[in-house]
Structure 1
Amino acid sequence: WMGIKGVDLSFLALLSCIGMIAALVQILEMILDKFFPALYHALGVFLPLITVNCAILGGSLFMIERDYNFGESVTYGVGSGLGWALAITVMAGVREKLKYSDIPAGLQGLGITFITAGLMSLGFMAFSGIQL
């Protein structure tokens, strides 16, 4: 990878494709909102669903890449769905609490959201067993 021998980052291909599609959907959404508001409102909720479909496709491709059988695939799919639901519910609860907190002006909005997501990811990493 990039001329470095012994470094195999092929496992990042799936993640980078999902990230690229999500970023392009967000850029498309902003362009449509600014230059084509009628089309933006006509598409409504369906534009962000492209990103969700991409995440579902990513999960499916991950199962194919790992060569899971049917039972393992169902277990992985249910576990992924429950994990996502748990993470998004916790994030919504934390954001609700932060709404009534005194947050410095520079961290309001996206800044505190990224900090919260980072701290939550550290907490969820404990489920997989952190090894330092």
Structure 2
Amino acid sequence: MNDESLPTIFINACLVNNFVLAYFLGICPFLGVSGKRDTAVRMGAAVTFVMLVASMAAYGIHALLTWANAPYLELIAFIAVIASTVQLVEMFIKKVSRPLFEALGIFLPLITTNCAILAVALFQTNKGYGFLQALVFALGAGLGFTLALFLISGLREKLELADTPEMVRGTVVALVLAGILSVCFMGFAGLFT
């Protein structure tokens, strides 16, 4: 078991090694669903939930497959758990909030292929986290993902009101903003190592 403290794990996952702004994982929903703040926060909540479930399942799967001496099956098992969890989240959101389901559109089922979620399972396994450490890591990563979505969505909403040249509107300005946010988050590097 890893001996890192829980606050250190949380801050590292959320700020220092933010999955979107430091590792550039989960860029598809970061750019695709970050047009409005409320949609970005809801997508972040869905991703955080899937990360937590995937983290719990990954801990159990790793323990079981290590016991069975079959670690080569971990990746496929992680992917199956993530896909199943996303299907449940998609059905839940469709039932509870049809407008949110339509606002998230194709990006909701794409959570299945969100590399940030698979990275949570793989990173926690490689770092040798215990169960509680793995949950804190997943929560930090999910909240960091939500924070990145919220920040970029707020900036994009403000830019809609600005008089920007036609050639930099849309994806170009979103990528420039993502780069600036990434550089800002580099300021957290070395905070907890």
Aligned residue in 2 for 1:65: 126
The answer to whether structure 1 residue 94 and structure 2 residue 155 are counterparts is: yes
Q: Which amino acid aligns with 1:112?
A: V
Summarize the alignment of residues 1-132 of structure 1 with structure 2, pairs less than 5 Å apart: 45=106, 46-52=108-114, 54-129=115-190
Q: Which amino acid aligns with 1:82?
A: L
Aligned residue in 2 for 1:29: none
SS in 2 for 1:112: helix
Aligned residue pairs, count? 91
CA RMSD of aligned residues (A): 2.5
Rounded Cα–Cα distance in structure 1 between residues aligned with 2:171 and 2:112: 22
Aligned residue in 2 for 1:7: none
User: Structure 1 stretches of 5 or more lacking a match?
Assistant: 1-14, 23-43
SS in 1 for 2:162: coil
Q: CA deviation at 1:73?
A: 1.0
Instruction: Report the identity percentage.
Output: 36
Rounded Cα–Cα distance in structure 2 between residues aligned with 1:47 and 1:84: 17
Q: CA deviation at 1:51?
A: 2.7
Q: CA deviation at 1:124?
A: 1.3
Q: CA deviation at 1:50?
A: 2.5
Q: CA deviation at 1:129?
A: 3.5
Q: Which amino acid aligns with 2:178?
A: A
| TM superposition score normalised by structure 1 | 0.59
Q: Which amino acid aligns with 2:167?
A: G
The higher radius of gyration belongs to: 1
User: Alpha-carbon deviations, 1:52-89, whole Å to 9, x = none?
Assistant: 3x421121111111111222211111111111111101
Q: CA deviation at 1:90?
A: 0.8
User: Structure 2 stretches of 5 or more lacking a match?
Assistant: 1-22, 29-104
Moved over 4 A (4+): none
Rounded Cα–Cα distance in structure 1 between residues aligned with 2:190 and 2:173: 26
Q: CA deviation at 1:98?
A: 0.5
| TM superposition score normalised by structure 2 | 0.42
**Larger RCO, structures 1/2 (Cα 8 Å, 6+ apart):** 2
Rounded Cα–Cα distance in structure 2 between residues aligned with 1:51 and 1:105: 32
Rounded Cα–Cα distance in structure 2 between residues aligned with 1:69 and 1:61: 13
SS in 2 for 1:57: helix
